[in-house]
Structures are given as structure tokens and as C-alpha cells.
Amino acid sequence: MCLVGTIAAPTKRASNPPLRGSEALVGYSTTENIASGTQPDIKYSLLPGQKENPDIGSYLDFENVDNPQPIRGSTGSDDPGPRLSHNRLGIDGAGWARQENTVVMPDATDMAGVDMRLEPGGYRELHWHVAGEWSLVLNGSCRIQAVNPDGQTFVDDLTAGDVWFFPPGVPHSIQALSDGVEFLLVFDQGDFNEDNTFLATEVFLHTPKSVLSKNLGVPVSAFDNIPDDELYIFEGTPAPEDIEEQNVTTQSGVVPRTQSYSYHFSEQPAHEVAGGSVKIVDPLTFPIASNFSAAIVTVHPGGMREIHWHPTSDEWTFFIQGQGRATLFTAPDAATTFDYRAGDVGYFPQSNSHYIENTGDEDLMFVEVLQASQFTDMALGQWLASTPKQIVADTLNLSDSTLSQLKTEKQYVVAGSTSD
């Protein structure tokens, strides 16, 4: 899958960038390098009855459809996919969302995910969560807005590859810009459910109008035209091109850069290794996301993410591009192997060793998300190379020649297998 405006695989650079980016990438973009309105070219055909009123209940058979779409009547919208799964559809073709939590992955107890798409001008309505929300923009661009508990305001434009984080209880909204947007959301609760989000429309619908009137200091009649149901994902007035028009000035001021809810990860070059590349964002450079650490990993064809494990956290993995195969080893004697493609989710428990091979003919790209204050892993190769050779030889019966080829540095991604 290669889409306009998606996260691009890195190109070779003269000097290899570090694993982590600069703290200057936190909040309020200095380059304003936002997508210019080119939407992904999504080719598909709808099934007979797919545009009928959903209440009719027409049967839709997607079995032999090349690029099935999450569209039903006037709800939902197109999908860069192909990644059809159970979707929650927005109204008037404004977008869709699909989630992964313990209902479908019972072992994924620490994190849950949502893949969401908004059409140009589409909103994820004003809301807040009981869980922390970490996000990676997959393609397109959007404007995010929030107010913190001190009354400080925040607004920023993000593009493919950028990251945001909203702590629990912080109200916020997301609106797609002129090219639409698709983003990945990761929550720090495995049983998180999008249906339990606190929506502005629901707050108004479940509060007596007389109470709203008293609280907000306006007549009861001011609420005559509020929506009679939640909006969730809906079409709105396009955001002004000049973000300054949406900067709200209050006595509290704006959210300080050091506490910013966004990180312009797209502007951070990747650290390149023999079999691909890796780049990391964690609280060392993005402090507000105090327990979220992540790495975007690119694996060239034939390469693999080296055998490793995370000593302090489970790993929640979303596959962005390509196809791969992962094997998970769980002590004392269980090994399981899975095949993945773009849009799939993997989950690797804390300290369980695993690797991910690229089994396709294009770059494999995925994001590893940890619940940790710093992105760390233990690499099998580095461990063995950093242990006295006699101990390793006595344990594994490896020759001196083999041991001398092991590397004391982490490889992260290794190139294609070495043949005899």
C-alpha cells in the first residue's frame, strides 16, 4: 500500500540521525509543513444495495470484492485499506472508526486501539475519555484542539507521521483538513470502548435545559436546536486555512510548549540500520505522554526486526504497510507464529521474546507502542555478544567463529538471512 500523504519510508542520509528527535518538535509546528489538499486515490466499486437505507437490511457479500468499503447508505466513507473489519460509521459520509480491545483480543489487557478516518471537514466531535489517548496520524492532515484543567488553550495542525496525546479527562476535538485524515488511537486501558466516550452532545442531551441555562447564563431557548442524538463523526464547516483564526485567547493563555499535546514526529528523520530504520518518541522528548513510548520501524524486504523483548511493558503493534510474520516465544515452551498485513494489530506480552520478518516485496512498516516512561528493549544478539564467550559457548555450544561475529550493539532491524 502506498498512498499520497501517508508516512513515507526514509531515504538514505549522509549522517545517521539519532533514535530520538529534538525537543523542538514538541507542539506548534515551526514549519507548518501540512498536506496541501491531495486526497488518496481510492479505487473501489460498491455492491448492489450498499447505498440503500441501512434500515432495509440488505445483505452485502464482500467475499469476492477487491477493495471492500465501510459504506452503508449515507453513513461511513471510503477507506485507503484494504482493511475491512467491523466499523462504526459516521453520519453523512463523514468517516468511520474501528476498534480493537479485549473483546476481540483478550490478552491485550494494557492497551486498546482505534483506527479512525475523517473525510475533509469531518469532525470527531468534542469529547473526553477516562483513558489516556495517544495517536499517530497515518495519512492526510487534521487540526486538533483542547483545553487543559488550568483553562489554557491548545490548537495545532498535524500531518502524516505526527503524534498527539490527550491525558484522561482533557476535552478535545479533531477535524480533518482539506485532504481528510486517518489516524491511529492507542488507549492505556485494554478494555477501552469508544462507545463509552463522553460526548458534548450527550452531556447536553442528559442535562435538563433549565440546568444548562443556569450554568451557562443563557436563556433556555438557546438550546432549542441542539442535536437530538450524538454526532460522534459528522461533517462540519471547513477549518480556516489560517490557524490563527482559531486561537482562542483567555486569561490563562495557551498551553506551554513543554506541556504541548502534539509532537511533530514526521519532521524527525529515521535512524538507519542494515535492514531498515527505526525512530523513537517517548517522554524523554514528548513529556506530556508520560507513560507512552513508541517506535516506528521500517523493515526492508528480506529483513526482520531482531529477536527482542521489552522488560517493563507489553508491546501493542499496528501494521501500517506491507506484510510480515511474527513469532512469539512464551516460557517455558510455547511458540506461536502469526501472519500480518496492513491494518492488523499484534500484541506481545512483557518480557516475551519475539521477532517480525518482512515476508513481502515492499517495505514493512509498523509502530510498536509501550506503556513505559522510556522506550527500551533487550536484544538477543546484544545480550549474547556482551556475555563472556565461555559462558555462551558452554551453554549453546557455539563456535568461537560464530561468537566472534555477534555484535555488542543493538541492530533493531537486520538484513536478509545469512546463508551457509
Q: Which of 216, 231, 263 is the last residue of a domain?
A: 263
How many domains does the chain fold into? 2
Instruction: Please report the pLDDT score of residue 128 as a whole number.
Output: 97
User: Which segments of the chain have a pLDDT < 50?
Assistant: 1-5, 35-37, 82, 84
Do 60 and 38 lie in one domain? The reply is: yes
In the block, cell 469476492 appears at 64
Spatial contact of 43 and 80, defined as CB atoms under 8 Å apart: no
* 250: its cell numbers: 483567555
Structural domain includes residue 3: no
Q: Would 12 be classed as within a structural domain?
A: no
- Report the b/e string of 69-102 with b at 16+ CB within 10 A: bbbbbebbbbbbbbbeeebbbbbebbbbbbbbbb
Question: Domain boundary at 220, 237, 263, which?
Answer: 263
49 lies in some domain: yes
Distance in angstroms (rounded) separating the CA atoms of residues 63 and 82: 13
In-domain check, residue 304 = yes
Give the pLDDT of residue 74. Answer: 58
* Residues 354, 221 share a domain: no
In a domain, 420, yes or no: no
C-alpha cell at 256: 506551554
Contact residues for 92 (Cβ-Cβ < 8 A; gap 6+):
74, 75, 234, 235
- Between CA 69 and CA 383 the distance in angstroms is 46
Look at residue 90 in the predicted model and tell me its pLDDT.
77
The confidence score (pLDDT) of residue 411 equals 96
Same domain, 135 and 165: yes
Structural domain contains residue 73: yes
* Residue 28 confidence (pLDDT): 77
- 4 found inside a domain: no
The reported pTM is 0.85
What pLDDT does 40 receive? Answer: 58
Angstrom distance (rounded) from CA 236 to CA 234: 7
Torsion sign over Cα 44, 266, 109, 191: negative
Looking at the fold, whether 257 and 276 belong to one and the same domain comes out as: no
Residue 264, all three cell numbers: 511533530
Predicted pLDDT of residue 42: 63
In terms of domains, do 75 and 209 share one? Answer: yes
Expressed as residue numbers, the domain containing 323 is: 270-414
HEC secondary structure over the chain: CCCCCECCCCCCCCCCCCCECCHHHECCCCCCCCCCCCCCCCCCCCCCCCCCCHHHCCCCCCCCCCCCCCEECCEECCCCCCCCCCCEECHHHCEEEEEECCCCCCCCCCCEEEEEEECCCEEEEEEECCCCEEEEEEEEEEEEEEECCCCCEEEEEEECCCEEEECCCCCEEEEEEEEEEEEEEEECCCCCCHHHCEEHHHHHHCCCHHHHHHHHCCCHHHHCCCCCCCCCEEECCCCCCCHHHHCCCCCCCECCHHHCCEECHHHCCCEEECCEEEEEECCCCCCCCCCEEEEEEEECCCCEEEEEECCCCCEEEEEEECEEEEEEEECCCEEEEEEEECCCEEEECCCCEEEEEECCCCCEEEEEEEECCCCCCEEHHHHHHCCCHHHHHHHHCCCHHHHHCCCCCCCCEECCCCCC
Residues 241 and 279 in one domain: no
Q: Which three cell numbers stand for residue 15?
A: 549522517
Same domain, 206 and 311: no
Per-residue pLDDT, 92: 80
- 120 by Cβ neighbours in 10 Å (0-12 / 13-18 / 19+) ranks as buried
> CATH code at 101?
2.60.120.10
Establish how many alpha carbons lie within 13 A of residue 9's alpha carbon, considering only the half-sphere containing its beta carbon: 19
Interval 287-329: pLDDT, tens:
999 999 999 999 999 999 999 999 999 999 999 999 999 999 9
- Final residue of a structural domain among 232, 263, 294: 263
CA 19 to chain centre: 19
Residues 144, 290: one domain?
A: no
Q: Are residues 239 and 376 in the same domain?
A: no
Do 152 and 171 contact (CB within 8 A), yes or no?
A: no
Radius of gyration of the chain (CA): 23
Same domain, 274 and 251: no
Catalytic machinery residues: 368
What residue type is 420 in one-letter code? Answer: D
Q: Are residues 128 and 53 in the same domain?
A: yes
Q: Are residues 321 and 212 in the same domain?
A: no
| 379 within some domain | yes
| CA–CA separation, 69 and 59 (whole Å) | 14
Give φ, ψ of 390 to 5 degrees. Answer: -60, -40
